[in-house]
Structure 1
Amino acid sequence: MTADRIAEFALSGHQKPESAIVMGATLLIDTLGVAAGAVGLEAGRIARDYAVAFHGASTPENAASILFDGRRASIPGAAFAAATQIDNLDAHDGLNPTKGHIGCAVVPALFAFAEARPELSARDALSALVMSYEIAARAAFALHASVVDYHTSGSWNALGVAALGCRLGGASPDQLRQALGIAEYHGPRSQMMREIANPTMLHDGSGMGALVGTMASLLALRGFTGAPALTVEDEAAAPFWTDLNEVWTIERNYVKPYPVCRWAHAALDALSGLKHENRFDARDVANIEVNTFAEAAALFPGMPANTSQAQYSLPFAVATMLVHGRIGPDQINGAALRDPQVAAILPRISVRETARHSMRFPEGRWSDVNVELNDGTRLESGDTHARGGPEAPLKMHELEAKFHIMAAALPESRRQAIWEMRKRMLHPDTKFDELARLVRAPMEKLSG
């Protein structure tokens, strides 16, 4: 039975390929960089304050620290706050076939669950994290194949969070089964394209995915029962689980070079390539045509009024890349939303769906860009796939540079200590708490 195979995989702690463990460490640190970069965003502040105010824990062992905040909430509250914070800076990892994101929910949950286990080794934590990525990915495949609506990541990454809680909580196979059923039943079946049409702090539903997933495992460990998860136990879902423990989807996750929806990344990479080859800037450009897939063409079209719209706007991202040559947290927030140079470029940018790019989605994220210069020169990028995934992975120096850009609000010494944990976690004698101490403290200081 599929449920038995999943239980053995999720709860046994058997050996994972070293390549999957290394990728887990990389994605974990990358996600922490995003978490640090998102501390100053309004959505993260609201989520943290809400969790502290309304999600308290009655005993210390049931509480967890909110990442980069220093305050504590219940385990579900801490996971919800950090996942919401990360979800609202769209620079976290993803997996193309899932049409969404795993790390933004399971990484905060890992820290929340692990706080009561200071003896947990870093390698065991990474093994549990890899397991949760694999469970969440297959739940996503099964869900997308069985429903008409395009649901947000929270609807399925909740199952990865639930599996993680069961693993670290010492659950039985039946308790895992109940937890997955609870997580799926209460997971946010929110429609992604509604958020694309009207960008808000809801983003990809991963805050609620983390909340529901943590609650599901904690309830199941106390005897609460749930309806069997259809994405796990339904006969139609079985093919998506047959390669569990054989194919490691975590190794196919992408890392984003820019903190905007990845649907815009192919166009950004295409434009960057043209700029590098032809040495033009915004003053030289008469117009830009972006050909892309349908979902990307539906991104917010105008000058954004808030950071949510900025992160879900392909034209704004293209204009920003043209004017500034980069997109980091400072380019999608605050004064950047009123940048007159970017605003002046927007009317020169047109976006349209192209059938060949739409046919490649969700397995690929393709676009092409045509630039007409003021002197009449026409430059064509050709079909371009977004960088950061297995098709065109970022080099390690790029990953490190991105981490320091995202976490720039942290002192350099603290940033460097967190980055160095990417390698230290692979040592058998390293405790996960060594990393956790670096990220539990508020931004301005380290806890003892």
Structure 2
Amino acid sequence: MSTTAHTTGKTTSGATPAPASDATLAEIVATWAEGVAFEDLSPALVENINSRVLDILGICAAAAPLDTSRAVRRFAASQGGAGQASAVGVGEQLPAAQAAFVNGVLAHSLDYDDTHLPSVLHPSASVIPAVLAAAQAHGSAGQDVIRAIAIGLEVSVRLGMAGYDSTAQNSVFFEHGQHATSICGAMGSAAAVAALHGGAELIRNSLGVAASMTAGIIESNRTGGTVKRIHCGWAAHSAITAVELVRHGLTGPPTVLEGRFGFFQAWLHGAFDPSAITGDLGERWSIEDIFFKPYPANHFTHAAVDAAAALRRAGITPEDISSMVLGVPAPNLRTIGEPIDVKRTPTTAYMAQFSGPYAVAAGLLGGGGLEVGLDDYTDELAQDPVRRAIMAKVDVVPDPECTAIFPMQFPAVLTAHLTDGRTIVEKVLANRGGNENPLSFEELTRKFRDNARRTMTTGDMAALEEGCRILETAITVNDLFTGLTTVDPDHLQK
């Protein structure tokens, strides 16, 4: 990885001139962002972003009953201030930063939000709550919201990729114990919110201020605690706060990213790839590499669900199978296949979400949502004797073909040995929801309904679906999301 800051600009889309050759990274990013116009976004990209808004809001609705969600709503409501934006499950509007905090927490709480590969960032869970809250507070139009989200996602991903080590095939943020999703998400969200309200100078200064607010460590992944759920919410909150501070006169350092005491020195000890930030900026959208999650489980398990579902659709039943071998990328083995006795006998829904054998059982039996949904990951089902019997038949091994593809995809090869002597192999080499196997707006609407039905009325769901489908036509987004305040965390629609 390079430790030398990139200082040359590229011609970007839009009317804004390219920055001078001695421009800092923040200035290059800000100049590009100012030059982005809604008209620069292809119809496919607009639909992509509309789908992400719907997806995130459905996840927020499903997460509303969690104890952690109740805690952050109580916290946000206690902060006071004039109401300006809607938060899921809060019966009155909150100040924009507090609404962004609540929705950002809920968006990331179910591990169901989208994932960028190979950085393994979850950018929408902070950028979308931040932009929607700021847009409601200022009466922004739908096209402005879509443009801002596009900018925010792009900045988040590019900063994340600047910390990706292609040799180790891993994020350096992660190796340092840092949650890049929240750290880079705060920066991307700040760029997005600033782009709603001003030009390059506001965006650059907002990046400079937000950098002092970025945070997130992932020790809870190892030893427990629910703090990780607040990371995207705090990133969204920090973004709105940073932009408002700049609007009131605060400034940030122009060398905030590459400086001697800047963002990358602080987080990555100065080891980063500046070309990941500026290379083909304005020519290619990294949003295309953000994968939707069709299933509410660790992304490494998704291809296993699809491979097992292919067996089911071919008429293979659990009784027909004597044994199965799930081949996965070697780096994934420790997450979803080891220790195998534990992965075959999860005792909680959370453990099931990280089990390759459970993913095979879930896909083979089928379920809700797009193949399996939230109702297929419960403590009771994790201990279900039928699923345990299927899991007992599954070995998880490293597969060379899958390892060669990783981490651009999280593939799987499932080999089923049948009781009649046949062997059937199902390969899923491109993840569903990714750039090679995308989900349509209609499919994501099915996911949204499976999530939102738990806490929203049918009428509110329909209104939100339609509003997101044609978000670009909204004169103001204020009325589109009023249904969020009517979410009932105690209601489960059957």
The residue aligned with 2:74 is 49
The residue aligned with 1:132 is 152
1:52/1:358 CA distance change after superposition, 3 Å? farther
5 Å matches for 1:281-320? 281-299=317-335, 301-302=342-343, 303-320=345-362
CA contact (8 A) 1:139 1:232 kept: no
267-276 or 144-153: bigger deviation: 144-153
Q: Which has the larger radius of gyration?
A: 2
5 Å matches for 1:36-435? 36-53=61-78, 56-60=79-83, 64-118=85-139, 120-145=140-165, 147=172, 149-150=174-175, 151-152=178-179, 153-170=181-198, 173-191=200-218, 197=222, 201-202=226-227, 205-226=231-252, 228-230=256-258, 236-277=273-314, 279-299=315-335, 301-302=342-343, 303-325=345-367, 326-333=371-378, 335-409=380-454, 410-427=456-473, 430-435=475-480
5 Å matches for 1:2-17? 2-11=25-34, 14=37, 15-17=39-41
Cα deviation for residue 86 of structure 1 reads 1.7
1:376/1:419 CA distance change after superposition, 3 Å? same
CA contact (8 A) 2:329 2:398 kept: yes
In structure 2, stretches of 5+ residues that fail to align are 1-22, 166-170, 337-341
CA contact (8 A) 1:67 1:108 kept: no
Deviations 1:376-429 (A, max 9, x none): 4322113532111120112443222222112222222221211111333222x5
Cα deviation for residue 225 of structure 1 reads 4.7
Residue type at the aligned position of 1:4: E
27-36 or 375-384: bigger deviation: 375-384
Deviations 1:134-174 (A, max 9, x none): 1111111112248364443112111111112222343x644
CA contact (8 A) 1:9 1:131 kept: no
Tell me how far apart the structure 1 counterparts of residues 75 and 358 of structure 2 sit (CA, whole Å): 31
Tell me how far apart the structure 2 counterparts of residues 393 and 131 of structure 1 sit (CA, whole Å): 21
Tell me how far apart the structure 1 counterparts of residues 54 and 60 of structure 2 sit (CA, whole Å): 10
Residue type at the aligned position of 1:18: S
Task: Tell me the secondary structure at the aligned position of residue 118 of structure 2.
Answer: helix
229-238 or 154-163: bigger deviation: 229-238
1:59/1:423 CA distance change after superposition, 3 Å? closer
Cα deviation for residue 128 of structure 1 reads 1.0
CA contact (8 A) 1:292 1:354 kept: yes
1:333/1:64 CA distance change after superposition, 3 Å? farther
Tell me how far apart the structure 2 counterparts of residues 263 and 195 of structure 1 sit (CA, whole Å): 19
1:307/1:117 CA distance change after superposition, 3 Å? farther
CA contact (8 A) 2:148 2:193 kept: no
Deviations 1:201-260 (A, max 9, x none): 455743343343333333333444556123689894145323222212223332222111
Cα deviation for residue 100 of structure 1 reads 2.1
> Which residue, out of 56, 63, 76, partners 1:31?
56
Cα deviation for residue 185 of structure 1 reads 4.4
Tell me how far apart the structure 2 counterparts of residues 213 and 311 of structure 1 sit (CA, whole Å): 31
Tell me how far apart the structure 1 counterparts of residues 207 and 411 of structure 2 sit (CA, whole Å): 34
Tell me how far apart the structure 1 counterparts of residues 63 and 274 of structure 2 sit (CA, whole Å): 36
280-289 or 104-113: bigger deviation: 280-289
Deviations 1:316-371 (A, max 9, x none): 22222223444211112354344332233333222223344233222122111112
1:308/1:175 CA distance change after superposition, 3 Å? farther
Residue type at the aligned position of 1:23: N
Using the aligned pairs only, state the percent identity. 25
What is the root-mean-square deviation of aligned Cα atoms in Å? 3.0
Cα deviation for residue 307 of structure 1 reads 4.1
Residue type at the aligned position of 1:66: A
Deviations 1:42-76 (A, max 9, x none): 333333233334xx14344xx53322432444433
